[in-house]
């Protein structure tokens, strides 16, 4: 089975240990909307807000086939998606992409570096 690690992170805290990086800061930041704060965990409305953006869908549509190739070339693919703080946009997109890859039978680990438990 192919192995994939997806990491969400905030650029302002430095880059994590990964072998592929993508910046998702192009997505509108939900933390700038009055209904959420910088420290809110993603809820269903926030997920819909991020994933309903056409640019996000275009990015995901391009990323998924690229990930299919990467996992055939790299037996320990670690792909990191970052935004400014790593708490919303990158985390939401990582969760969505992880679900898509799992549906294809890929073993996916997810790390949200900036989420404090």
pLDDT for residue 22: 97
Q: What does the alpha-carbon distance between residue 92 and residue 78 come to, in Å, rounded to a whole number?
A: 17
> What confidence tens digit (pLDDT) does each residue in 7-28 have?
999 999 999 999 999 999 999 9
pLDDT band at residue 35, thresholds of 50, 70 and 90?
confident
More confident residue, 1 or 99: 99
Q: For residue 85, what pLDDT is reported?
A: 87
Nearest to 47 by CA among 10, 107, 94, 12: 94
Comparing CA positions, the residue from 24, 39, 16 lying closest to residue 115 is 39
**Coil/strand/helix, residue 46:** helix
**Region 81-100: what's the mean pLDDT?**
94
pLDDT at 1 (0 to 100): 60
Quick: pLDDT tens for 37-76. 777 788 899 999 999 999 999 999 999 999 999 999 988 8
**Residue 117: pLDDT over 60:** no
Q: Which residue has the tokens 């570096």?
A: 113
């Amino acid at each position: 089975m192919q192995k994939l690690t997806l990491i969400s992170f905030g650029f302002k805290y430095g880059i994590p240990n990964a072998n592929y990086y993508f910046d998702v800061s192009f997505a509108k930041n939900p933390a700038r909307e009055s209904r959420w704060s910088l420290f809110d965990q993603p809820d269903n409305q926030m997920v819909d807000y991020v994933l309903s953006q056409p640019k996000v869908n275009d990015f995901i549509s391009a990323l998924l086939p690229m990930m299919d190739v990467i996992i055939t070339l790299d037996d320990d693919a670690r792909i990191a998606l970052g935004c400014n703080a790593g708490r919303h946009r990158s985390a939401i997109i990582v969760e969505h992409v992880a679900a898509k890859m799992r549906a294809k039978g890929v073993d996916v680990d997810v790390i949200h570096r900036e989420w404090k438990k």
